Amino acid sequence: MPPATQAAIDGYLDELWLERGLARNSLAAYRRDLTELARRIERPLLEARPTDLLRAVAERYAAGYRARSSARWVSCIRGFYRHQVRKGRLAVDPSLELSLPKLGRQLPGSLSEAEVTTLLGAPVVTQPLGLRDRAMLELLYATGLRISELVTLTAGALNLRQGVLRVTGKGGKERLVPVGQEALDWIERYLADARPLLVAGRATSVLFPSRLGRPMTRQTFWHAIKRHAHAAGIERPISPHTLRHAFATHLLNHGADLRAVQMMLGHADLSTTQIYTHVAQARLKELHAAHHPRG
């Protein structure tokens, strides 16, 4: 990669972090996208021509990338060049001719309440790791946390007496989320019977450590979820956000206020949360059709 391109990417990410407080994972995604663009064109990014960018996008489409992935990639490119024009580093935006692929509104995958119950019961709670996983799954479903938020929780973030969890979400924004009694009971059991064995005297503040007493990665717990889903007989594909989606959908199905769900999920914009209303409405239609005498 040309040094000028590397400097442009580094500078852009630094300014994004300062201006918008983006999380580390978001910044890493921007870096991957811009690095991919740099590989696809033959000149430094700040010298790119519209034809360079159009050709790079066409090559990506031809390679079979999904529309949603390509839309995110094009959006990153456009944001990068708009930023350069705004900062006075470019006089003309070479990405003006790029257009985003049209996407249908994607409804998040979820689980039924019965499937969630089966999934939560899958870990073998007579073992320390199984008890830890059960407590983590219960907390995910009780609070709608992102997996990245769950694995970085510290022991001090949870107030067992008040039943409240302090979560640091995207952009370092904090929110308070209530925790139900069922999840609190499992966490108390985990803290008493499993965490001391996993920590084994090591000094760590992480609430849910790995088998070696270290902070767990998102990928490690995601693999654990897939393993427990398989044990529970859930064969259809699930995503890292499956329990988060189930949390939101089931709350709305039972009459929760959309804005309250927005606050608990940590969505900055209510429109992001509104996608769950489509899921809830679909479920209500199914219930109506199944149980109404003229359904």
Percent of the chain whose pLDDT exceeds 90? 41
Report the alpha-carbon distance of residue 17 to residue 92 in Å, rounded: 24
Does residue 170 carry a catalytic annotation? yes
Active-site entry in 132, 134, 195, 244: 244
Active-site entry in 195, 228, 245, 267: 267
Does residue 87 carry a catalytic annotation? no
- The H or E element spanning position 158 is strand 158-159
Q: What is the mean pLDDT of residues 180-198?
A: 94
User: How high is the pLDDT of residue 106?
Assistant: 53
pLDDT band for 266, please (50, 70, 90 cuts).
Answer: low
Residues with Cβ < 8 Å from 261, sequence gap 6 or more?
A: 144, 248, 251, 252, 273, 276
Report the alpha-carbon distance of residue 276 to residue 107 in Å, rounded: 8
| pTM for the full predicted model | 0.59
User: How high is the pLDDT of residue 137?
Assistant: 94
Active-site entry in 31, 170, 189, 218: 170
Does residue 267 carry a catalytic annotation? yes
User: How high is the pLDDT of residue 291?
Assistant: 54
Does residue 43 carry a catalytic annotation? no
User: How high is the pLDDT of residue 288?
Assistant: 47
pLDDT band for 267, please (50, 70, 90 cuts).
Answer: low
Percent of the chain whose pLDDT exceeds 70? 84
Does residue 146 carry a catalytic annotation? yes
pLDDT at 270 over 60: no
pLDDT band for 271, please (50, 70, 90 cuts).
Answer: low
Domains by residue range for the chain, with CATH: 3-86 (1.10.150), 113-291 (1.10.443.10)
Does residue 294 carry a catalytic annotation? no
Between 216 and 70, residue with greater pLDDT: 216
